[in-house]
Amino acid sequence: MEVFDRAELLSRKELEQVQLVRLRNVVSQAMRSRLYGSRLKEAGLSPDSFKSLDDVRRIPFTTKDDLRSQYPDGLNTLPTSEMVRMHASSGTTGSPTVIHYTQNDINLWADLMARSMHMVGVRREDVFQNITGYGLFTGGLGLHYGAERLGCLTIPAGPGNTARQLKFMRDFKTTVAHIIPSYALYFGAAMRDSGEDPASLALRVALIGAEPHTEETRRRIEELMDVKAYNSYGLSEMNGPGVAFECVYQNGMHVWEDAYIAEIVHPETLEPLPDGEVGELVMTTLCRQGMPILRYRTKDLTRIIPGECACGRTHRRIDRILGRADDMLIIKGVNIYPMQIEQVLMGFPEVGENYLIVLERENFIDQIRVKVEIREEHFVEDMRVLRDLQKRMVSRLRDELLITPRVDLVQHNSLPKAEGKAQRVQDNREA
């Protein structure tokens, strides 16, 4: 197995020893910040308190509200003169969560990103087209630096403008693209609608992430774009992308455990859960100097996949993100996650690339309506055909959700498109 660095091949014993040493170091570093200086002291913790990795549970959780309360630089452990960059969350309410980086932090992040891309076969000879946003969003620059670290010709194309993206792919013989799943569906469909044969392009790998998506969506992307699509996971609080990444076996994302500690806890009791059980992902940085974060509640729902990976890497795997704890919808007393709806819809070959979940209230009762784009060749004039499709969708959704939603079949390209993360839920209950 060819690897980017030796850390990928550490034994579990070696890896856990690295984690323990780095945990003590990062606690020492974190105590220089206002928040952790007081919080760890109140908990009676010092670097010497950590005798095993289980002791990480003695550290109080960190939440997004904690980060906001320390805006703009209360979590920094070094003076501003030592920082070379900052990124911020895309939140639209209150103070954003801001992350500061030293040059060493940036270098280590680039290495993790290069390691991730190398794992799925990206090499110096590749041409990398970055079809995501730059700026304060970490996704664009994260993969950009990783691609350059590998030595790839890197095209910072940014999002949108499908015709230009396609022209760059043809003219520069792009082999690897970074693209968010919802835009990948739109891009693949637009490419085929224009008569472009994906097989005529040099493109072979799509790196997808930034928004939760189902396995059915991934396979749809692979079919539309004629690529292998690899799932990735990251969040700005942990640097950005490169926290976890799929290998070529596409069976869970390896968390780079020499750089992070990953825990799964019950979203309500916050008690640790065993491997295989779905819960909330909690993350701790192990290498970041400028702004370490300890036991951060990500709100992302996933599980540790039990067992070893066929690729031979020892770093544990998390499953694809199943949704967010705060994305849960409660309709008629039933807990529903948008990802459940997407999974059902993408199982229908007649379904296009876009859908919208609309929450409504009638006579004081919450209702759920799903608007689904249908591919042009299936949007026929024979209403009996469409009604049959509609009934089958309602039936499968009812089986999955345990309530009966309303389903509207709409024409191709009739729902709003977003160049950034797709907005899949529209709440009209208070309108």
Within a 10 A sphere around the Cβ of 92, how many other Cβ atoms?
Answer: 6
Q: What mean pLDDT, rounded, does the chain reach?
A: 93
For the record, the structure tokens of 76 come out as: 């920094």
User: 311 with 284: CB under 8 angstroms?
Assistant: no
For residues 100 and 237, what is the distance between their CA atoms, to the nearest angstrom? 10
DSSP string, 156-192: ---S--HHHHHHHHHHHT--EEE--HHHHHHHHHHHH
User: 50 with 25: CB under 8 angstroms?
Assistant: no
User: 329 with 346: CB under 8 angstroms?
Assistant: no
Does 104 have pLDDT greater than 90? Answer: yes
pLDDT tens column, 363-384: 767 889 999 999 988 888 788 9
pLDDT given at position 90: 57
Sorted by sequence, the CB contacts under 8 Å of residue 184 that are 6+ apart come out as 206, 208, 221, 224, 225, 229
pLDDT given at position 420: 66
What band does 334 get if pLDDT is binned at 50, 70 and 90? confident
What band does 409 get if pLDDT is binned at 50, 70 and 90? very high
For the record, the structure tokens of 204 come out as: 């072979």
pLDDT given at position 29: 98
pLDDT given at position 419: 63
Q: What pTM did the predictor assign? A: 0.85
Is there a shared CATH topology between the 1-325 domain and the 328-427 domain?
Answer: no
More confident residue, 276 or 214: 276
For residues 401 and 335, what is the distance between their CA atoms, to the nearest angstrom? 8
pLDDT tens column, 57-102: 999 999 999 999 999 999 999 999 999 999 987 554 567 889 999 9
CATH 3.30.300.30 describes domain 328-427 = yes
pLDDT given at position 193: 86
**Reduced to 3 states, what is the DSSP secondary structure of residue 147?**
helix
For the record, the structure tokens of 40 come out as: 């760890």
- Amino acid identity of residue 178, one-letter, is H
Nearest to 61, CA basis, from 277, 284, 274, 288:
284
Which residues face 300 on adjacent strands? 324
Instruction: Please state which CATH class domain 1-325 belongs to.
Output: alpha beta
Where are the strands (E) in 317-350, listed by range?
317-318, 323-324, 329-331, 334-336
DSSP string, 72-96: TTTT-SS-GGGEEEEEE----SSSP
For residues 152 and 148, what is the distance between their CA atoms, to the nearest angstrom? 5
Within a 10 A sphere around the Cβ of 236, how many other Cβ atoms?
Answer: 21
Burial of 144 (0-12, 13-18, 19+ CB in 10 A): buried
pLDDT given at position 92: 44
Residue 272: its H or E element = none
pLDDT given at position 364: 67
**What share of the chain has pLDDT > 70, as a percent?**
98
**Reduced to 3 states, what is the DSSP secondary structure of residue 428?**
coil
Nearest to 345, CA basis, from 321, 371, 323, 319:
371
**Across residues 88-117, what is the average pLDDT?**
88
Residue 27: its H or E element = helix 12-30
* Domain assignments of the chain as residue spans, ordered by start: 1-325, 328-427
User: 10 with 258: CB under 8 angstroms?
Assistant: yes
